[in-house]
Amino acid sequence: MTSRPPHPEPAHTAPAPAPAVLGDPGAPRHAVVLGPVMARWDNGAFFRQVAEPLLASGHRVTIHDTLSLLRDGDDLKALAGRWAHRLEQDAAPDVLAGNALGGAIVQTLLDREWTHHAKVLLLSGPTLADDELNAKLERIAAAVDAEGLAAALCLLEEVVRGPGTVTHPKPEPEAPRLDEELAGRRLATGLRLLHDADAREPVRAFPGPLLHVYGEQSLLVQRHHLATGPGPTHHCAGIPRAGMRPHADRPDLTTDAVVRFLGAEES
């Protein structure tokens, strides 16, 4: 009989991608960002537009692939604990941000004392996953095995794209990429981490400034999936005519909301 290794092996075989770092390394403030579920990491491109007001206000920005610390058998709590251990090694961030899954992880961490010095920015990051959200995420995750990665990505795009987004003809099938199995596993496992997520307690007790930014016409994470605390420093900013990616659908309005949030923290 053999015992399990003390540290679970990664749920991927490729090296974990390095974080993307933007701005002056000597900037006086630091913003840490946890990314959404992606079949293939985009090196932080999803956050570049949102990063502009952070860079302009004297932050350097470190953008992490949230799934880079995933291990086989993890649930949301386990992955959040691993991120807590990783982030605790550095100085407490001035801004702690998360998009989608990354936002859910950030909210789970808000009972940690070191987060209480940060301003929290969440982009379509669910606080609570209800049966409707569970079902939508599971439909996409199950499609990876049943129909393949391309079909699952099409289903994902249907629920995250903004209203009025122009869809393009589906390209001719390509030869399978060597990392397609890994990409599919990342997508399915990442989406399933959000099943029954519930970070209402740490969010409501969080003493610092917190802003949820979400698309008012999102078909996935919606207003009722977000929670705030009772104090005056927690806010939700609904972006009109935007879907799950308000920062891509309406970058102007999303940037304005972030600028106001960062300005409020100085008042």
- Cα 243 from chain centre: 15
Token pair recorded at residue 58? 């004297």
The pLDDT score that the predictor gives to residue 17 is 74
Q: What is the pLDDT at residue 164?
A: 66
All residue ranges of the chain with pLDDT < 50 are 1-10, 12-13, 167-173, 175, 265-267
From CA 253, how far away is CA 170, in angstroms rounded?
Answer: 30
Q: Is residue 66 within 8 Å of 31, Cβ to Cβ? A: no
58's CB contacts (< 8 A; 6+ apart) are 27, 28, 29
Q: Which two tokens stand for residue 117?
A: 């010095």
Question: Measured at the alpha carbon of residue 100, what is the angle toward residues 61 and 182, in degrees to the nearest 5?
Answer: 90
CA distance 120 to 254: 15
Listed in sequence order, the residues at least 6 apart from 157 whose beta carbon sits closer than 8 Å to its beta carbon are none
Q: Whose CA is closest to 105, among 131, 130, 132, 78?
A: 78
Domains of the chain (ranges, CATH numbers): 20-128+198-264 (3.40.50.1820), 131-166+178-191 (no CATH)
How wide is the angle at C-alpha 183 spanned by C-alphas 181 and 187, nearest 5°?
Answer: 115
Helix (H, G, I), strand (E, B) or coil at 60: strand
**pLDDT tens across 132-164, in order?**
999 999 999 999 999 999 999 999 999 998 776
pLDDT at 141: 98
φ, ψ for residue 81 (rounded to 5)? -65, -35
Residues in CB range of 43: below 8 A, 6 or more apart: 17, 20
What tens digit of pLDDT does each residue of 50-79 get?
999 999 999 999 999 999 999 999 999 999
